[in-house]
Amino acid sequence: MKELALKYGCNPNQAPARLFMAGGGDLPLRVINGRPGYINFLDALNAWQLVKALQAATGLPAAASFKHVSPAGAAIGKPLNAAQARAFFVEDMEGLNDSPLACAYARARGADRLCSFGDFIALSHPCDVTTARLIAREVSDGVIAPGYLPEALEILKTKRGGNYSVIEIDAHYVPEKLEKRQVFGITLEQGFNDAVIDRKLLSNIVTKNKTLPEAAVQDLLVALITLKYTQSNSVCYALDGQAIGVGAGQQSRVHCVRLAGDKADLFLLRQHEKSLNLPFVKGLARPIRDNAVDVFLSKRAKAQFGKGGWQGIFTREPEYLTEDEKRACLDKQSGVSLASDAFFPFDDSILRARESGVSYIAQPGGSIRDDEVIARCDAYGMVMARTGLRLFHH
């Protein structure tokens, strides 16, 4: 197929819209089901690049949950423990740990279930039945993968009244070396960003502490590859093979770190016993449950759930987490990895990162205050790798 007509562009007033190859060749993808839109394809094509790179760097199946051209979550296919399965609301999914691909998506979606609502999914491998069953019960716009098992495809076709978007992409497709885009009728051209992110990128450790465990190498690769496809400025916190907090599109570096750090904190607090044991009403819709957990972990929990506000969501008023309990939980955390798409201009980002248990950092370097940033890492015993590779994405 050489061209796909789209319903409209980013907004309904932006028509006509289409998908095609500038050189007139065949598209390296096909729509198996549904009718993906302009934004769907922006998410799908960025997300596909992310999971393909993750799989190449780690050797494990990968998945991404994309919203508005940035990842809400990304992960590789590591088994889930009991607390993770409960926090991601997949403890009832039979045979989950038998499918690394399903584990990858459970983690990608579980990184930030609030932001993943209505996501576009990318899978590095052909979609299997367990992964399809997992996708089928979430609110999602569509999925892109290099293939689908017949039974998995039939499951996906039942979503959204049969209109769920399912895209199959040629796993061997390689884009041209130059890419173009138009802004305000003016064409910009640049080289395609084919920079490879692998463990060699982490070899220049500039801190006194130079011990970088294999698990941290894996997490830093997840974080760096996630950033390559995240709208800049951006930072990513990662733990146990998955992104746990992504800060995208901020104008200052420290605001990225704070935003992503707040998300990482919520991810960690969702595994607190009080969060895991929330007394939900049986049969509560998954999106309502996700929203309730987010409110429960906020400072306004008592105001919203007090005086009967919990009714219809919980069987009783929940046992709230105090701010002291939250801080105590986070203070126990260590071993979190943090990557940045550009250098840290000040050490304030390191100060904030420490509050979320960060022990390992990767960043390009190149600031006039690099020495101050490294000194702050040394003060906390952190390990920092200077990659020399900027990862701006727009």
Residues that are catalytic = 67-68, 233, 394
For residues 271 and 79, give the distance between their C-alpha atoms in angstroms, rounded to a whole number: 16
Q: How many CA atoms lie within 13 A of 312 on its CB side?
A: 6
Q: How far is CA 330 from CA 21, 233, 282, 354, in A?
A: 49, 25, 30, 10
Which among 128, 136, 78, 133 has a CA at the least distance from the CA of 108? 78
- Cβ–Cβ < 8 Å for 27, 4: yes
- Total Cβ atoms within 10 A of residue 177: 8
What the block records as the tokens of 292 is 């309730």
What secondary structure does DSSP assign to 264-288, as a single string?
A: HHHHHHTTSHHHHT--BPTT--HHH
Q: What are the start-end ranges of the H helices in the chain? A: 38-58, 82-87, 100-110, 129-136, 150-156, 214-228, 253-269, 273-276, 286-296, 301-305, 323-331, 348-354, 370-379
What secondary structure does DSSP assign to 317-357, as a single string?
A: ---PPPHHHHHHHHHT---EEEEESS--SSTHHHHHHHTTT
What secondary structure does DSSP assign to 101-143, as a single string?
A: HHHHHHHHHHT-TTTTTTEEEEESS-B-HHHHHHHHTS-EEEE
For residues 343 and 366, give the distance between their C-alpha atoms in angstroms, rounded to a whole number: 6
Which among 112, 116, 113, 103 has a CA at the least distance from the CA of 62? 103
For residues 195 and 109, give the distance between their C-alpha atoms in angstroms, rounded to a whole number: 27
- Cβ–Cβ < 8 Å for 84, 271: yes
